[in-house]
Chain A
Amino acid sequence: MFAFIIRRIAQAIFVMLVISLIGFAIKNKIGDPVRDMVGERVTPQERAKIRQKLGLNDPFITQYIRFVDHAVHGDLGLSFFYKKPALDVIVEKAPATMEMVIGAGLLIILISLPLGIYTSLKPRTFFSRFVMGFSTLGVSVPVFLTAIMLIYIFGVQLHWLPSYGRGKTVDVFGNGWWMSGFFTADGLKHLILPCISLASIELPLFIRLIRSEMMEVLETDYIKYAWAKGLSPMRIWLVHAFKNTLLPVITVFGVQIGIMFAFTILTETVFQWQGMGYMFLEAVERSDTSLLIAYLVVVGSVFVIVNTVVDIIYGFINPTIRIAGR
């Protein structure tokens, strides 16, 4: 087990190095740190002096090592547009994205568990067929269309819910680090539509996953034995069968949280949600290279950490994984 953990962590570090190398190569190729610092109104001679001072004429490897060194110490360069360290900009925008992902995650759990269990127990009823049909349809609807339709129905036509922005936010810790929409009625109202649209991508997957796992478990011998013992159906379904479907569901959930981050770029664009994804697209439009690279590195490390942790947890639970030496 120890060797497995070490191997996974070594792999994670290797991936991070690759990501940082890609990021640095791009930055080196298309970014201009001098412009990021002083803007356009400086004479070429002075630029050259700054270039020399910043070490931009050093060999690629030296510069790369310096980049990694800075990155490890939390310095990912200055954002050209915000005139602030890029990492600070991202940290400032992160809570908005996190709130949307958490809200969507809660919705997914609350909706997919009962529906998945129900459709596995009563696969032939009309409601089950309806749910399964709906989930086939759901896979085929792009998330931005779901979002647009929700906006059109609930925002434009019915005027029930606000269709863009985060609404009123409160400062949770009093230091401006986490401006939250969770604690005001207005903020919660603004959260509803984005969370529903973000959840809509994952819902079909989870309903199907829970359903198929549950159906498989229901066929096993120990469930038949439980029936033979004369236990009540509720106890068999919820305690004996459901418990054993949880493992794969939790692992998939861990990975899918990461995928939801990718889709926040789309939902944030539709709802003009001031989070990381929206910031990323703005950075593309403004050619803010440092911010782009910082986003790449931050999101990359989030993915690598989530994947590594999920793998290690899975390795604890399922020994075959670590023997296969993935």
Chain B
Amino acid sequence: MLTNFVPPDLAPAYPEIFLLTMACAILLVDVIMGAASRGLVAALSLMTLFGCAALTALTATGEVNTTFSGMFIDDAFADLLKMLVYGSVAAVLVYSRGYLRDRGLDKAEYYLLVLFATLGMMVMISAGHFLTVYLGLELMSLSIYALVAMDRDSARSTEAAMKYFILGALASGLLLYGMSMMYGATGTLEINGVLQALAMGQANGIVLVFGLVFLVSGLAFKLGAVPFHMWVPDVYHGAPTPMTLFISSAPKLAAFAMIMRLLVFGTIPLAEQWQPMLLIMAVLSIIVGNLAAIAQTNIKRMFAYSAISHMGFMLLAFTTGVFNGHAALALEAYTSAFYYMVAYVLMSLAGFGILLLLSRSGYDVENLEDLKGLNQRSPWYAAVMMMTMFSMAGIPFFVGFFAKFSVLLSAVAANLVWVAVLAVAFSLVGAFYYLRVVKLMYFDAPNDVAPIHASIDMRVLLSLNGIAIAVFGAFPEPLMQLCRQALARSLF
């Protein structure tokens, strides 16, 4: 029997293999060197990410390569998303270090868990099979549950981790159930196989739609869209700020990949069924997220509700791809969603980055009041935060504007003018609480006048992050084209 065994082509999975090897190596370094290895572990983790980026760039062919019998896909879409994931994870590591060191949390476990979560995301992004999706998802989620509970003496963090774990497990269950239904209807778990089976039109419609409902619910859970959003504020609030930063950045990209793989790559013939589901969730997320954010005094909770509304906006783009039974707008619509997600991650990194910058030992910046008078303490970082807030509110010249603009454009193109008007109306509501942050930073006198301490790498990266928000806001075309081409090469 062994003679029939053909070893799989490992080349498309080199980055994942490299990451796993390095993670094991870092584990060994920590075991051998103990507490002395802190700086080394951090440096090695960053180097691992750079190595992965180099490998991804080197192995990128621009074509669709599959391996492990179609379970693993390496295409332009996956390459671009992975690069973005490396970038945001690297930013998370840099932003978090000072905070973790001040609180004695900068153990090797933190870096390892982040790396394993990254591996999970990469697997999700490259998934060609429902089981690969699930495998990646669980690897990522389990690592994040542990990360949230890292500060084990904090009752709030453990509670948040528990809540996240239980709801996350429920969502995984829903997803699995949906996958099994799809299997029942189509006889395959391979994403491409499902697509072909659906195109043949021989699958049982009722079973399919039944399965689809569970798939969409599971996705919505992971994304934090209304009505599956309950965990988001609690986890954002309860987790230590670096973990919140992490949750709000790279995993969102992975969740986007999951939606793309499951709904677009796998079940686009059912778009007429899943689009209305997403539309309802998108509209509800925009409404609930923006309204609830107004009432928050804790800035992490405010960001959580703002994240819900942003996810709603992003989902809106998905509801416009197939129109009148034709996938005419698909590429434009999914490009808009992709760009929106990238813009959101960029803004989220900057927003939480500022919170981490201002926190120091024994003092967490958590409440809106803590941002008071930032302009007097540091005009530059106040400007970065202001740009982030205006960007989130969708005011031009910042990256959030063209992200919202392209989504609105695709909504109007699909004759969803009423949704566009509604989304715009709630952007006005959203503008209020973003403006309030600007007000606190600029119009009020500071409560706290301690000088801001941060390492030079964090200062540089955070400044670049702020500049990127402005530059991509003024010149969105290159990044948009990058997203568009990656999708065009992988989708059709």
- Do A and B interact with each other, yes or no? no
